[in-house]
Structure 1
Amino acid sequence: MELIIFLIFVVLVLLLLVTNICVVPQATAYVVERLGIYHDTWNAGLHFKIPFLERVAKKVSLKEQVVDFKPQPVITRDNVTMQIDTVVFFQVTDSKLYTYGVERPLSAIENLSATTLRNIIGDMELDHTLTSRDVINTKITTTLDEATDKWGIKVNRVEVKNIIPPPEIQDAMEKQMKAERLRRESILRAEGEKRSAVLVAEGEKESAILRADAVREQRIREAQGEAQAMMTVQQALADSIKLLNDAAPNDKVLTLKSLEALAKVADGKATKIIIPSELQNLGSLVTSIKEIATDPKPEQ
């Protein structure tokens, strides 16, 4: 019987020891109290809790956290009420301060963010507010970071997610944006038409230049062809004369050539052909030719 009681006691002790072994995950911290008073902060790893004397008061995540707060009503300097919602990125840097520094830290950050946002927007006009998100983000981040240091919180950045002006201002802005869009479209259309007209004019100009160049090139080629033909004829005539001179022709041959030339001349429409006196003395060869008088033949 005593053995059984002893075994039961041993089992209970083992169970008690096992249940008080704590394994802290990575990027997590445990705030431990002993007899209700802060004792230690356990980081990632294996730890042992003294039974009945120590307890884990809070498990704190050391990761960067993102909190999206609902839209807050704010009033600009020119008395325009807008709805602005923000996103806060923060990280716990001191688990003890985070546990004991403020009740409900997220709610405290939200209220502080709304208050800071109202103060910043209250010094700005509507137009400046809509175009100064970076300025608003920087100011809110600086203010929240300073205020949350005593809570063990580091505010890395704050982003203004949406700026929602009143409906009537939204309508006016939409009409203005539409008018601006139409104006830009008109400008782009006019520039396109202008560019098209310039391209057409340039095309016509280039076409006229090409046509003029083609005509000039054609005339140059024709002139070159005529000049080449004349040179060829003159060269042929010079070659024939040279060959005739090299052959040393007698008077009869020259007379025969003269008659051939006269025959070609006679093929024309001249009414009279006068034979040179040198040929008139050759009566034996030109007894039938003293004067050639031809009348133009009547056209059929």
Structure 2
Amino acid sequence: MIGYILISLIILFSLVILFSGIFTVKQQTSAVLERFGKFRTIRNSGLHFKVPLIDQIAGRINLKVQQLDVLVETKTKDDVFVKLKISVQFQVIKTNVYDAFYKLESPHDQITSYVFDVVRAEVPKMKLDDVFERKDDIAIAVKQELNQAMSDYGYDIIKTLVTDIDPDAQVKAAMNRINAAEREKVAAEYIAEAERIKIVAKARAEAESKRLQGQGIADQRREIARGLEESVDVLNKVGINSQEASALIVVTQHYDTLQAIGEETNSNLILLPNSPQAGSDMLNNMIASFTASNQIGEAMRARNAELKATKEIKSRRNKIQRDQRNSDTDTREEL
């Protein structure tokens, strides 16, 4: 009975030892095997066997693309403190698993140190606006530096990205105020341009209205003059002379005006002469005005003619004097 139990235990122990030598490696992963603390081999994905109690799995290396986010605070050329978030995408080279496992203790710390070094060397050369515009240049500089440094340790830098640029809060507030002021300036310019267009359009409309109004008044006066001329001709044909015809027309228009004012119920108070001599007085005043105007015109024309004659006489006298001086000069030169 005891022998049977011992045999069972030996068989069970043997099975445990046997199965302990079987292990699996996941996809996109490599396992590093050591024998008595010394590197033996690297196993990739699949089912594998190792010598129990002799071979040990020292560690597993992830072959997937990994991302490390590094937050760096530095100063720009114009003395503005800014925080940059650098995202580094890296991967262990499958053929360099040995270097990645044994040469580098902490890859994340190593990458972070290089990112800090490059960013703090590049950003202080730029102004704040340039940092936003040339963030791709910063990312390329970080990638180049990391590739040169990390390739010796079996790491490949896939891509680096500047995913965030965060200036100081006061600087951001100032930038927002500048942006708002610029937009208000543009809005004011558009509003002023719209007002200018409306003013110009209104002025053009008023000018056109005045032009048409003046044309209408001119046409109206022309027709009135033509009507008066025809009225005088008709009255002359029945034996009424021009002065009597003009007086009759003025009186008729005077009473027509009074009638029109009387028919208008909402008109303001207007005082007009309404005596029997009103028409005759107005006609006499008009004739007197025309006569005085003609006299003034004749006097001005006579005055202008006199001034013109005086100017011509003076011009001729000056010409004669110049000719005399030139003649005297020629005579002296001949002598």
Fold shared per TM-score above 0.5: yes
Whether 2:212 is the aligned partner of 1:177: answer no
How many Å separate the matches in 1 of 2:53 and 2:47? 19
1:101 Cα shift?
1.4
Q: 1:78 to 1:16 in 2, by over 3 A?
A: same
Q: What residue number does 2:15 align with?
A: 14
SS of residue paired to 1:50 = coil
Change (3 A) 1:85 1:197: same
Residue 115 of structure 1: aligned partner: 117
Tell me the residue number matched to 2:106: 104
Query: How far 1:173 sits from its partner (Å)?
Result: 0.9
State how far apart, in whole Å, the 1-side matches of 2:184 and 2:14 are.
83
Q: Distance in 2 between matches of 1:52 and 1:59?
A: 18
Give the match for residue 277 of structure 1: none
Give per-residue Cα distances to partners, 1:204-239, cap 9 Å, x unaligned: 9xxxxxxxxxxxxxxxxxxxxxxxxxxxxxxxxxxx
Distance change (3 Å), C-alpha of 1:90 and 1:3 = same
Indicate the percent of aligned positions where both proteins have the same amino acid.
28
Q: Which residue of 1 aligns with 2:140?
A: 138
Q: Distance in 2 between matches of 1:63 and 1:9?
A: 42
Matches within 5 A, 1:192-207: none
Paired residue for 1:292?
none
- Equivalent position amino acid for 1:27 in 2: Q
Correspondences of 1:1-300 after superposition (within 5 Å): 1-69=2-70, 71-93=71-93, 94-186=96-188
CA 1:195/1:145 → structure 2, altered by over 3 Å: closer, same or farther? farther
Mapped to 2, the partners of 1:188 and 1:41 lie a distance apart of 71
Gaps of 5+ in 1: 205-300
The count of residues paired between Structure 1 and Structure 2 equals 200
Distance 1:52 1:130, change over 3 A: same
RMSD between aligned residues: 2.6
Residues of 2 paired with 1:2 and 1:47: CA distance?
35
Report the Cα offset of residue 193 of structure 1: 7.6
Distance of 2:171 and 2:136 partners within structure 1: 22
Greater Cα shift, 17-26 or 2-11: 2-11
**What is the alpha-carbon distance in structure 2 between the residues aligned to residue 194 and residue 60 of structure 1?**
73
Change (3 A) 1:61 1:194: farther
Question: Shift of the alpha carbon at 1:45?
Answer: 0.7
Instruction: Give the structure with the higher percent helix.
Output: 2
Counterpart secondary structure, 2:174: helix
When normalised by structure 2's length, the TM-score is 0.54
Instruction: Tell me how far apart the structure 1 counterparts of residues 197 and 83 of structure 2 sit (CA, whole Å).
Output: 46
- TM-score, normalisation: structure 1: 0.60
Secondary structure at 1:139 match in 2: helix
Cα shift at 1:141: 1.0
1:226 maps to none
For each residue in 1:143-179, what CA deviation from the matched residue of structure 2 results, as whole angstroms up to 9, or x when unmatched?
Answer: 1111111121111111112222223322221111112
Q: What is the Cα deviation at residue 195 of structure 1?
A: 9.2
